[in-house]
């Protein structure tokens, strides 16, 4: 039985010793065999996993207006409009609490936003300023990576691509 995350063990010996390394071999208790081991493809034992919010992102011009479909984003300043839609998780196993998210532009982190200061967040809307002046003309990618508040919720990523003039 673990106590404060440690296994209390007492070694009785007639010699003055100090344990510097201990190996512990776990063996099953006598009786019926243990249940079969789970594999990565098995469904979770306690039902479907909860989902993190769905990412909806749009690159806007410097004035916060949508760029017409198929048109390049003007160089200089821009705005990344980000919506984390929690309604998508309501249909499945539920919505997982959100600890925060990161935003990367062409693999370079440009923002880290915690969302669990008063308890885990689940959804919301955010606007981030983009400085595109130092970027080359052509295609670029923004990655939004969400991190769950619980350790058993896998991070998820979504990508938004845009073309810079």
Q: Note the pLDDT of residue 108.
A: 94
pLDDT in tens, 50-60: 788 899 999 99
Location of structure tokens 């052509």: 138
Query: What is the pLDDT, as a whole number, of residue 156?
Result: 92
Residue 8 in any domain: the answer is no
Q: Look at residue 27 in the predicted model and tell me its pLDDT.
A: 74
| Lowest mean pLDDT, pick from 67-71, 144-148, 160-164 | 67-71
User: Is 78 a domain residue?
Assistant: yes
Structural domain includes residue 71: yes
The tens digit of pLDDT for each residue in 6-16 reads 777 777 777 77
Please report whether residue 101 resides in a domain: yes
Please give the average per-residue pLDDT across 147-155, as a whole number. 87
Residue 68 maps to which CATH number?
Answer: 2.60.40.10
Q: For position 89, what pLDDT does the model report?
A: 53
- Rounded Cα gap, residues 139 and 62, in angstroms: 18
What phi and psi, each to the nearest 5 degrees, are found at residue 163?
-115, 125
Name the percent of the chain lying above pLDDT 70.
84
Lay out the sheet containing 77-85: strands in order across. 54-60, 77-85, 124-131
Which pLDDT score is estimated for 16?
77
pLDDT digits (tens, 9 = 90+) for 87-137: 765 555 678 889 999 999 999 999 999 988 877 888 889 999 999 999 999
Share of the chain above pLDDT 90, in %: 43
18 occurs within a structural domain: no
- HEC readout, 98-137: EEEEEEEECCEEEEEEECCECECECCEEEEEEEECCCCCC
Rounded distance between C-alpha atoms, residue 83 and residue 101, angstroms: 12
What is the span of the domain harbouring residue 95? 54-164
Q: Domain tally for the chain?
A: 1
Establish if 9 belongs to a structural domain.
Answer: no
| pLDDT reported for residue 86 | 80
In degrees rounded to 5, what are phi and psi of residue 91? -80, -25
pLDDT at 150: 86
Is the residue at 108 inside a domain? yes
The three-state secondary structure class of 8 is coil
């Amino acid at each position: 039985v673990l106590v404060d995350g440690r296994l209390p063990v007492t070694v009785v010996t007639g010699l003055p010793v100090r344990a510097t390394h201990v190996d512990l071999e776990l063996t099953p208790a006598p009786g019926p065999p243990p249940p079969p081991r789970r594999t990565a493809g098995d469904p979770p034992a306690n039902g479907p996993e909860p989902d993190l919010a769905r990412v909806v992102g749009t690159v806007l011009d410097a004035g916060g207006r949508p760029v017409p479909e198929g048109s390049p984003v003007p160089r200089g300043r821009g705005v990344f409009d980000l919506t984390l839609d929690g309604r998508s998780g309501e249909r499945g196993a539920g919505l997982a609490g959100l600890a925060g998210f990161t935003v990367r532009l062409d693999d370079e982190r440009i923002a880290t936003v915690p969302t669990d200061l008063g308890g885990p967040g689940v959804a919301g809307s955010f606007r981030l300023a983009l400085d595109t002046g130092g970027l080359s003309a052509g295609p670029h990618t923004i990655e939004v990576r969400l991190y769950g508040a619980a350790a058993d919720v896998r991070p998820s990523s979504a990508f938004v691509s845009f073309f810079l003039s």
